Amino acid sequence: MARLVILGAGVSGHTAATFAKHWLGDEHEVVVVSPNSKWNWIPSNIWVGVGEMAPEDVVFELAPVYKKAGIDFRQAKAVSIHPEGKQDSDKPFVTIEYTDPAKAGQTEEVEYDYLINATGPKLNFGATPGLGPDKNSLSVCTYKHAAEANNHLQTAIEKMKKGEKQKFLIGTGHGSCTCQGAAFEYVFNVEFKLRKAGVRDKAEIKWISNEQFVGDFGVAGAHIKWNGHIISSKIMAESLFAERGVDWITGAAVKEVQEGKVKYELLDGTEGEEDFDFAMLIPPFSGVGLKAYDKNGEDITSKVFKPNGFMVVDADYTPKPFEEWKASDWPKYYQNPDYPNMFAVGIAFAPPHPISKPAKSVNGTPITPAPPRTGMPSGIIGKAVAHSIVEMMQGKTDKPKHHASMAEMGAACIASTGKSALHGTAAALTVYPVVPDYDKFPGTGRDPEYTFGEIGLAGHWIKHILHYMFMWKAQLKPGWTLIPE
């Protein structure tokens, strides 16, 4: 019996674990290590953040689901990877530290035959002084953060009902942030909530982002079909901002968040300040800080991971000018080149280069969105890697066969812009491929037949339905395998 160990139980890790066990049955062992006892459908956190869903609507306990599936669940955080084993044993293992209250602080060495790193990101609030819920800004990155943001929002609404004006600042809190989409959804859900509460006239709402233009989203924007025309996502996004009365600052690196004030730097080197009464700023992401050691106990972290903490996989990391990067540089199998029984999926793998063109301010400050690797691509990658590993565990092949390059896959994103059964809206955007391929699709890098967008009530209902579909799927309820990633 072989053992597959999966570090992390987010979208990618949970997808990999559940499909691997479904395909393997009792023939082999699947172990999941996650510091969290609950699974969180993160795309719906923005609705928790405006009081349209409760925290319990977006989470469930992992242990009962994994017990039913026959998956060995360890509530613990991974501390280090030992891909060569140790001097008295060639068996690779990971060191974990339990976060389960019953075993808190205890460590254990968990051996593996195959390993998937699906640890996701560290929310690196510390990269910007004063950033984060325990300091001077709010977040919707976790369901707890989102619930706290809603508490502050309700307080602000009560102040506005009493005639007090409030200034809202929403966006990204560092020059290298990704996940602009979550902040984009949140700014429009806040605006919609204020209109529903009848206090929109008492609010000033401003967007601040490290994107060079609104609608970039870390994927260099897109040329999309919209209302029968092909337009830039910049036009689509700017139209929505203008329609909702939301001003914007782009090309901005937030340098410090003080109480009621943000300091930022623009690409032209200009420094500015923005006052606020309410600020929700997404932090930059980094790897979770896993260490790696060889057989002799020597630190090989720099060999296994990039400086940002994300794992090296089968991508082309050769340094070269942005114009020379190719879609083919992106990984296909997510396999570590030095340790072929080790893979990384979702946010945990190191991308070879940004998708949006890198930029620095005249002062040398990097102001460029990092490539997004969440949502639909994350699930697709997790499933493909699990499929490859299952076949290797079953002796059907000695190398991965199932590929899921972001340069060969499309992705659909439904961005809520207000939750309501009759008056809600969402921006539905589909791009193919996620990573532009300028050789295959000269000019735009994407296929115009499969890259399109619409905004309306239908999009809201699709997102609403998807919430329940994916909560159902993640809990392995009847028919779960039929619901696509």
pLDDT for 208 beyond 80: yes
Please state the separation of Cα 65 from the chain's center in Å.
23
Q: Is 244 exposed, middle or buried (0-12, 13-18, 19+ CB in 10 A)?
A: middle
Of how many residues is the chain composed?
485
Q: Are strands 223-226 and 342-344 parallel, antiparallel or unpaired?
A: unpaired
For residue 313, give every residue at least 6 positions away whose Cβ sits within 8 Å of its Cβ, in sequence order, or none: 331, 333, 334, 335, 336, 337, 343, 344, 349, 350
For the stretch 396-435, pLDDT in tens is: 999 999 999 999 999 989 999 999 999 999 999 899 999 9
Strand, coil or helix: 211: coil
- Check whether 225 has a pLDDT greater than 90: no
Residue 303 lies in a domain: yes
Residue 153 located in a structural domain:
no
Question: DSSP readout, 425-481?
Answer: -EEEEEESSSS--TTTSTTTSS-TTS-EEEEEHHHHHHHHHHHHHHHHHHTT-TTGG
Q: Is residue 300 part of a domain?
A: yes
Average pLDDT over residues 432-457: 92
Residue 382's alpha-carbon distances to 123, 140, 243, 246, in angstroms, are: 21, 24, 38, 37
Token pair for 392: 């290797």
Distance CA 303, CA 158 (A): 53
390 close to 20: Cβ distance less than 8 angstroms = yes
Task: Please state the separation of Cα 197 from the chain's center in Å.
Answer: 30
pLDDT > 90? residue 179: no
What is the rounded average pLDDT of the residues 360-379? Answer: 94
* pTM of the complete model: 0.96
| Domain membership flag for residue 384 | yes
323-326 contacts, C-beta under 8 A, 24 or more apart = 325/352, 325/353, 326/439
**Does a structural domain hold residue 307?**
yes
Residues 6+ apart with CB under 8 A from 212: 250, 251, 267, 356, 357, 359, 367
Reported as a single tens digit per residue, the pLDDT across 311-325 is 999 999 999 999 999
The tokens of 101 are what? 């209250």
What is the per-residue DSSP string for 369-414? PPPP--SHHHHHHHHHHHHHHHHHHTTS-SS------TTT--EEEE
| Residue 87 belongs to domain with CATH number | 3.50.50.100
- Specify the number of domains making up the chain: 1
In a domain, 118, yes or no: yes
256, part of any domain: no
What mean pLDDT, rounded, does the chain reach?
96
Edge-to-edge strand order for the sheet containing 229-232? Answer: 229-232, 223-226, 452-456, 426-431, 411-416
Query: What is the extent of the structural domain holding 379?
Result: 3-123+286-361+371-393
Q: Is omega for the bond preceding 433 within 30 degrees of 0, making it cis?
A: yes
DSSP structure string for 294-327: -TTS-B-HHHHB-TTSPBP-SS------GGG--G
Residue 65 lies in a domain: yes
Q: What is the average per-residue pLDDT within 151-176?
A: 98
Cα 379 to chain centroid distance, Å, stands at 11
How large is the average pLDDT for residues 195-216? 97
